[in-house]
Amino acid sequence: ETLYTRDYLRRPTPRDLQRLLQKAESRGFPGMIGSIDCMHWQWKNCPTAWQGDYGNRKGQKSIILEAVAGFDTWVWHAFFGVAGSQNDLNVLGQSPVFNDVLRGEAPNITYEINNTIYQTGYYLAD
């Protein structure tokens, strides 16, 4: 077993999901599993040969971190290492979170909004 996966950076258990979904619904977001966002981490010593790929729109060399957190700031997922020249949509296209959805391995939850039943949760993003 790896260092963190028993307690951290692991998939939510059914009990975890129930807690996350109840809190989200009480705040007006039925079906929301967590919040997802990407951020650039500056890479001061980026190798010269990689600087074109890792240069972001601000001209800085960076590596992108994608993270999912719950209402309690518990981080459930981290995906790190995408080149800084990529935008958030390109990062999501490589994300294990969204690959799980495409493979049918996302958490199976049921909720209703405006008399419509949904079977897949969602992540709040900006």
pLDDT at 7: 72
Question: Does the pTM exceed 0.95?
Answer: no
| Count of domains forming the chain | 1
Looking at residue 8, the DSSP 8-state letter turns out to be: S
pLDDT at 2: 60
Quote the mean pLDDT of the chain: 90
pLDDT at 126: 80
pLDDT at 10: 81
Distance between alpha carbon 26 and the CA centroid of its chain, in Å?
22
Average pLDDT over residues 9-15: 85
Q: Which is nearest to 52 in space by CA: 62, 44, 41? A: 62
pLDDT tens sequence across 55-68 = 988 889 999 999 99
Structural domain of 21: 14-124
| Element of type H or E holding 14 | helix 14-26
Tell me if 88 is assigned to some domain: yes
CA distance 93 to 56: 18
- Token digits of residue 110: 């049921």
Tell me if 7 is assigned to some domain: no
Sheet arrangement for strand 62-69:
75-83, 62-69, 32-42, 122-124
